[in-house]
Structure 1
Amino acid sequence: MSDELLEDEINRYLWLIVSPILLVIGSVGNVMSIAVMSRSNMRTSQASVYLIALSLADLVVLYTGLIRYFIKEVSGVDIRTLSAAGCRLHITMVYMSLDISVWILVAFTGERILSVFMPYKVKNICTRVTSLVMIATIVIIMLILNGHFLFGLAPVTITFGDNTTSRDVCTFASSEYEQFIVNVWPWIDFCVFNLVPFLLLSIGNTCIAVRVVISRRRAKKVGEPGANQRTLGINGLSAANSSLTREARATPETSRSLHMPAPTETVASNSQQPIITQRGIFHCAESLCVPPICGTKNVSVHGDVTANGANRLGRSEATSRASFKMTDQDPPIRTSARNDRTSSMTAILLLLNFVFLATTTPVSIYFIVQDSWHKRITTDKEYALHRLTFTVVNLIQYFNNSINFILYCITGSRFRKELQAMLFRRNRVFPLEEAARRRPRALEREITGLHTRMTVASDSNPDAQPQNPPSGNHLTVPRTKRSDTQL
């Protein structure tokens, strides 16, 4: 083997060794990504639509672009030259799938920007339907952009030397189209495939990173949200009521009664004092709220407030009802789950974008300079180096389409847990998150209905003690009909 052909040997072994490795990793990884993203716990997110489409586009890239070079090195057959339709369709699918893969990342980045900057509105703006429409729009635009290959290429037989050697190639159908492909198309492809996505992804990633850093700094200053809201159980409500009320007894309309322990004279020192507002309304402190509602619903109770902060129930009616003022904040479990999902998907996106920019820039630069480089080649060694460079930049590009599954596993904690659940057949990976996701409205209706139906009768003598005061923190809930618990 001569020194001039060393580059050709390296080039051949790269296609024979690296190509099948990337094909296996990419095939298994993208299929697993589709399977994981299609599970019920993951497909509720709009991001899963983009990631499934990205995996499908990567599979098309691998099985149209990369596999062609592998088959060509193994058997010497170029599938692009087998027929006129194959010549036109193959290169169109390669360019389309590469562009679709890139612009799905751009669309995904836009969705993440909205998710970070408008977390409470993104679900109304970005839905699964809008994601599907966006992907369909990308496919149509890329088909129009790369559709010229369907009309400008044709298989041609080239004869070498003394007319005894020939080879079929997929080349230009006219000289005008050749000038377009050589002089104009590389710049269009560079802008569509690399430059514009590079700018959009860089701006988007910067905005997301800055927003995440600011949010974390604010969280550190404020402290952990909901730290005083973690005491669960109905007993917490009874204890809070016992420190605020002096007496309570059952109303005659209900068959079950609401009993409370003997009150204390003042609110506990470690509890936040009630905030007195107009018309005798006070908002309960965080430590005195019902745990499932505290932090999500601001509860206000109509009543008279004494000078020392103790609450005496209003006696304008024989029966007074507790009224609750609702806000738009989410429950702590749901907020935590949403933050985890956002952080996980944001980390995946940032790493995907970084890898994309690092792996696609070399091949874009190569296609811009290849024509001028090719014109300056005068020796076989320079030709071999040119071919080796083409092989290296293409394998780097196909590397990007093969390792997304690995990137998901590295950065996505939810993806890893869901993958474990799928492989080991565990159905419930996130019990708290699942409970909050599947029954949040039912739980809120149940809790709200419970408290809106609680009635407390005031005695004509407020200083009298209940006839049979129960011991301990005991809460008996009024029995209501099923329809009464609906909002």
Structure 2
Amino acid sequence: MSVLTFRIYFAFAANLLAIVILCRGNCGLSKCITRYLLSMAVADLMVLIFEVILYEIKDSYFPYSFLNYTPVCSLNLTLLFVSLDCSVWLTVVFTFDRFIAICAQTLRAKYCTEKIAALAVAVVSFSSVLENSAVYLIYEPRDIIDKIPWSCSVKSSFYTLPIWATYLWLDTILTPLLPFVLIVLFNALTIRHIVLANRVRSVLRGGNNIGNDTDPEMANRKKSITLLISISGSFILLWVVIFVCFVTVQFTDTQFLKSDYNDPFTIAEQTGYMLRCLSSCTNTFIYAVSQSKFRNEMKTIIKRPLELFGHMKKEK
């Protein structure tokens, strides 16, 4: 088994584990937060399926399968971009939800509910499908073998026709430029509010920081900051390379998906895709580091098969 294959299996298993744990609902999180985190985990899993398994490694394991037919390849890439947009914008709406919960107490009871979270997930999913439905039309066959179109290549008209140029601009703004701005803005406002609230609470508790570690309210705020910044910060760091590539395409004659792997832009583009895939499997580790109950649930689920196997072995 290659290192790449092992990483793919590991990332896939990590997302499945996160989904199982969140579905059990024993992490001490509200139903609203659980709904967002579960939806993000599912979207990340879909990214791994469509980008890594069905697109990136198909040439290594299934070089002449139906997955390489141009219509199937185009559909897979369309679903890939739908999954990516879902993953990105679910991160944004989760960040906004935490901003409302922490900074706008008057709106918290109305907005931070499981019903609103389900509605937000549905709107993000529908909008992602609507936005990326045109992606299916931008690809053409890379080769035609025995009158069968193989693989996918971006049409040259995609970079010249005004309608496609406009679409590329809008797509770049919607993902990931606008999410970058919104995440940074909401995080900055949330952190500022928490810091100011902690200062006021510290003064009310005696004008010093003694005992803050045992203050449940301040402990919860610290956990909120840790979880929020970890998720959104990792997203920004892992998306920044591909974002620079998107902007470069807008202002230069450079094109996506070129086959010259000695070209510096192609190297940067492929690196950006790799980091973007990595962002789809980091949240599980973030939960494990920042949430003690999530760690306990993870240990329980991992130990259970081992205990069952040990019990069966003893019976034999």
Q: CA deviation at 1:158?
A: 4.5
Opposite residue 288 of structure 2, the aligned amino acid is: C
Alpha-carbon distance change, 417 to 176 in structure 1, aligned in 2, over 3 angstroms:
closer
Per-residue deviation at 1:142? 1.1
Distance between the aligned counterparts of 1:41 and 1:349, measured in 2?
20
Other-structure match for 1:402? 281
- Aligned with 1:101 (options 78, 87, 94): 87
Q: Does 1:184 pair with 2:166?
A: yes
How many residues align? The count is: 292
Distance 1:404 1:78, change over 3 A: farther
Deviation at 1:79, TM superposition (A): 6.1
1:171-205 superposed Cα distances (whole Å, 9 cap, x missing partner):
46794797368633432222111110011001111
1:358 counterpart (228, 232, 237): 237
- Per the alignment, residue 22 of structure 2 pairs with 37
The residue that corresponds to 1:390 in the other structure is: 269
Range with bigger deviation, 393-402 or 410-419: 410-419
Taking only the aligned residue pairs, the percentage that are identical comes to: 20
Instruction: Give the Å deviation of 1:69.
Output: 1.3
Distance 2:86 2:265 in 1: 28
SS at match of 2:143: strand
Deviation sequence 1:203-251 (CA, Å, 0-9, x none) = 1110111112112222222228xxxxxxxxxxxxxxxxxxxxxxxxxxx
Q: Which residue of 2 aligns with 1:47?
A: 33
Q: Give the C-alpha shift of residue 422 in structure 1.
A: 4.5
Higher helix share: 2
| SS of residue paired to 1:147 | helix
- The verdict on how the C-alpha distance between 1:157 and 1:49 changes in structure 2, with shifts beyond 3 A counting, is same
Q: 1:124 to 1:55 in 2, by over 3 A?
A: same
Per the alignment, in what secondary structure is the counterpart of residue 38 of structure 1?
Answer: helix
* CA distance in structure 1 between the aligned counterparts of 2:292 and 2:114, rounded to whole angstroms: 22
Structure 2 distance, partners of 1:99, 1:395, is: 16
Counting only pairs closer than 5 Å after superposition, residues 63-462 of structure 1 correspond to structure 2 as: 63-67=49-53, 68-77=55-64, 81-82=68-69, 84=71, 86-119=72-105, 121-155=107-141, 157-158=143-144, 168-171=150-153, 175=157, 179=161, 183-223=165-205, 336=216, 340=219, 343-370=222-249, 372=252, 374=254, 382-383=262-263, 385-423=264-302
Relative to the length of structure 1, the TM-score reads: 0.53
Residue of structure 1 in register with 2:43 after alignment: 57
Q: Which runs of 5+ in 2 are unaligned?
A: 207-213, 305-316
Distance in 2 of aligned mates of 1:366 and 1:419: 37
Deviations 1:351-409 (A, max 9, x none): 1111111111211221332483548xxxx7844x4433332111111111111111111
Q: Provide the rounded CA distance (Å) in 1 between the counterparts of 2:106 and 2:303.
A: 35
Deviation string 1:300-328 (CA, Å, 9 cap, x unpaired) is xxxxxxxxxxxxxxxxxxxxxxxxxxxxx
Q: 1:73 to 1:356 in 2, by over 3 A?
A: same
Distance between the aligned counterparts of 2:138 and 2:114, measured in 1? 37
Conserved in 2, the CA contact under 8 Å of 1:25 and 1:403? Answer: no
C-alpha distance 45-346 of structure 1, shift in aligned 2 (>3 A): farther
Higher-Rg structure is 1
SS in 2 for 1:41: coil
Which one-letter code corresponds to 1:87 in the other structure? C
Against the structure 1 CA distance between its residues 115 and 79, is the aligned structure 2 distance closer, same or farther, given a 3 Å change threshold? farther
Q: Which residue of 2 aligns with 1:5?
A: none
Q: Which has the higher strand share?
A: 1
Task: Tell me by how many angstroms 1:156 deviates.
Answer: 5.9
Report the CA distance shift for 1:77/1:341 in structure 2 as closer, same or farther (over 3 A).
farther
Where do 5+ consecutive residues of structure 1 fail to align? Answer: 1-15, 225-332, 426-487
Question: How many angstroms apart in 1 are the aligned matches of 2:19 and 2:92?
Answer: 19
Shift in CA distance, 44/116, structure 1 to aligned 2, threshold 3 Å: closer
- What amino acid is the match of 2:200? R
TM-score normalised by length of structure 2: 0.78
Residues 241 and 268 in structure 2, CA contact (< 8 A), matched pair in contact too: no
1:11 aligns with none
SS in 2 for 1:104: helix
In structure 2, the CA distance between the partners of 1:60 and 1:350, relative to structure 1 (3 Å rule), is same
